[in-house]
A and B are shown apart, each in its own frame.
Chain A
Amino acid sequence: MLRLEKRPVPSRFWTIMTPVVAVVATMVAGGLLFAFLGKDPVAAIRTIFWDPIFSEFAWYYRAQLLVKAAPLILIALGLSLGFRAGIWNIGAEGQYIVGAITGAAVGLAFYPLDAWYIFPLMILAGALGGWAWAMIPALLKIRFGTNEILVSLMLVYVAEQLLAKMSLGLLKNPDGHGFPGSRNFQEYPSAHNVELIEGTGMHGGVLAGFIAVIAAYVLLNRHILGYQIRLTGQSARAARFAGVRPKLLVAFCLGTSGALAGLAGLFEVAGPAGQITIDFNVGYGFTAIIVAFLGRLHPVGILLAGLLMALTYVGGEIAQANLRLPAAAIQAFQGMLLFFLLGFDVLANYRIRPIKREVA
């Protein structure tokens, strides 16, 4: 028999290695799943992980990679701050939607004016929208001690209804012949989130993602607030003695993650998506939770994890087209990845030792 012995400090080696092991394990288990669905497992795994980067159409897919990774990285970075301190914002999907709505609303309000300041204003509005939506659970937690997990999640459903209302009502394209959905930003240059370098998928959101990675790294490693976040996560009581104000931390972590999710929503609606529609959100806010954990709540890790998760999205789409693999299979695949990751984490926190038979 085996027993677990708690490590005094988590193993550095295993902290870095568990995501790798988890990805490999998910490939094996995912292969079994695909085989069970009657697909060739090797072909499916190769399509998902290899084709987007190295196949003959890779030039197209590589651009898609950045487009998909940008929102995931932006949202996951924000979430990771809170997760480190034990503040669970799982309503990023809602903040993403609201950020897109407010940002788009500002852009549409200026239509058809042509001015340089419109897009910056939209960015600001998007971040503010997401921030405000996340401050609802934050304020309720600060004032009443309400569970932020449930409130932030409930607000996702509220945001979805709001999105439906907006795309059918207030933000509907007046020239759209009655179809739901707003004007398309791709046809409105002043408000369009353009590709900065042709054919790379490198748009404003990707740039914002990279900046956020650096900012988060500096915050966590060089700033007192980052120290306080990490301290609270390791011992909330010790943090109180060290002068951390927990309420401030709740507001900061939830607010920042909301603002980043709102930004992601704005860049998506003004760029790749192009318009506000009923089915604008595709679950980035939830997948970002997986990205945050897969990246070990570390900014650089999240950057890599976001790219990997984007790979499964892009690869999943190819597999859908080429192998007729159902879209849901990728979702199950991503969920499985988080399971394996959490399971293998035991190696980082505990030593596994054989039980020695002892005589009392």
Chain B
Amino acid sequence: MDLSAINPLVLIASLMVAATPILLAAIGELVVEKSGVLNLGVEGMMITGAICGFAIAVESSSPWLGLLAAAGGGALLALVFGVLTQFFLSNQVATGLALTLFGLGLSALLGQGYAGIKPPPSPRLDVPFLADLPVLGRVLFQHDYMVYISILIVACVWAVLKYTRAGLILRAVGESHDAAHALGYKVVRIRLMAIAFGGACAGLGGAYLSLIRVPQWTEGMTAGAGWIALAIVVFASWRPWGVLLGAYLFGGVTVLQLNLQAAGLELPVEYLSMAPYLITILVLVIMSADRGRAALNAPAALGKIFHASS
């Protein structure tokens, strides 16, 4: 094995790209869970976003339109979940699973005829001035737009949740929907908006995979990324910057694993490919072992059905 073939700077640069789809999906799911809704359909929304974005980008040869379509597709699918759980009061776990199963089928259906096509290239953003820095410039500041947009979304979510009235109301709904309802807040409407936002983010994450990271369309290409995003929200104990850290750590593991494969590590490829999933489990165990802290941050009304009696 030749470890010197692995350049740590390239590793960091590709880590940011590898982490972005999960980061987008996870920050969306964080908002959903903060509003007290557990949407397990992230995987389904991601893959639907991946194909919506891919198809529109190919047809219009505009990656921006594609990303917009991905966000719309993800949000639309999320609203199906929203209507079922908020109006028809269905079980959130079961409905989320249904969303994933349906999304996987729907995306495969929509994606027929798109396999093996190259999408239009996405523009790169060289951050002015910073991109010219020696070493650091190349590693941190010469990526595509979405890498920076995803970090921006994290910052916005953090600021809104922490400093604005809207964020306070969202958290109140997530902590106790009955109290929020009694205060006159529209619980269902607020949750629907959060669910749609989560779907849009997951859709963007999926489109990032199919348009920029891979870039190609294959059936089931998200390969569990949506589920890992769910795990990262737990890892972050529902804090936006924690999501960023978790996604980048995870991106690092993925990239390192791919690099080790390329460097010809003795371990068979299949075992290396298990690494991201095994590490996700390990992280979940570490987080849940510290029960006091994990429980402190979890929204109190997470996954509970809201039924206004009056």
Contact = CB atoms under 8 A, between A and B. Distances in A.
B93 interface: yes
Dominant SS at the B interface?
A: helix
A277 to B, nearest CB: 14
Contacts of A327: 108
B105 A332 contact: yes
B86 to A, nearest CB: 11
B103 A154 contact: no
B231 A336 contact: no
Interface in B216-254: 219, 223-224, 227-228, 230-231, 234
Interface string B77-98: 0001000100011110111011
B274 A146 contact: no
Interface string A312-330: 0000000000000011111
Interface residues of B, number: 47
A243 to B, nearest CB: 24
Interface in B82-123: 84, 88-91, 93-95, 97-98, 101-109, 111-112
A62 interface: no
B178 to A, nearest CB: 14
Interface residues of A, number: 50
A157 B274 contact: yes
Given A153-B224, A165-B271, A335 B102 contact: yes
Nearest to A338: B98
Given A169-B268, A342-B88, A342-B91, A328 B274 contact: no
A330 B105 CA distance: 8
Contacts of A339: 80, 84, 95, 98, 102
Interface core residue of A90, A289, A342 (most chain B CB under 10 Å): A342
A275 to B, nearest CB: 18
Contacts of B97: 90, 289, 338
Contacts of B284: 140, 146-147, 150-151
A158 B278 contact: yes
A150 B102 contact: no
B112 A4 contact: no
A115 to B, nearest CB: 33
Contacts of B98: 290, 335, 338-339, 342
A350 interface: yes
Nearest to B273: A161
A257 B107 CA distance: 29
Contact of A335 (B94, B105, B280): B105
A96 interface: no
Interface of A: 4, 6, 37, 83, 88, 90, 140, 144-147, 149-151, 153-158, 161-162, 164-165, 168-169, 286-287, 289-290, 293, 326-336, 338-339, 342-343, 345-346, 349-350
28 contacts: A90-B97, A144-B285, A146-B285, A147-B234, A147-B284, A147-B288, A150-B234, A154-B231, A154-B280, A155-B281, A161-B270, A161-B271, A161-B273, A164-B270, A329-B109, A331-B101, A331-B105, A332-B106, A332-B109, A333-B105, A335-B98, A335-B102, A335-B104, A338-B98, A339-B95, A342-B95, A342-B98, A343-B84
Given A151-B281, A154-B281, A328-B111, 17 more contacts: A90-B97, A140-B281, A146-B284, A147-B234, A153-B227, A154-B277, A161-B273, A162-B274, A165-B270, A329-B109, A334-B101, A335-B101, A335-B106, A338-B94, A338-B101, A342-B94, A349-B89
Interface of B: 40, 80, 84, 88-91, 93-95, 97-98, 101-109, 111-112, 219, 223-224, 227-228, 230-231, 234, 268, 270-271, 273-274, 277-278, 280-281, 284-285, 288-289, 291, 307, 309
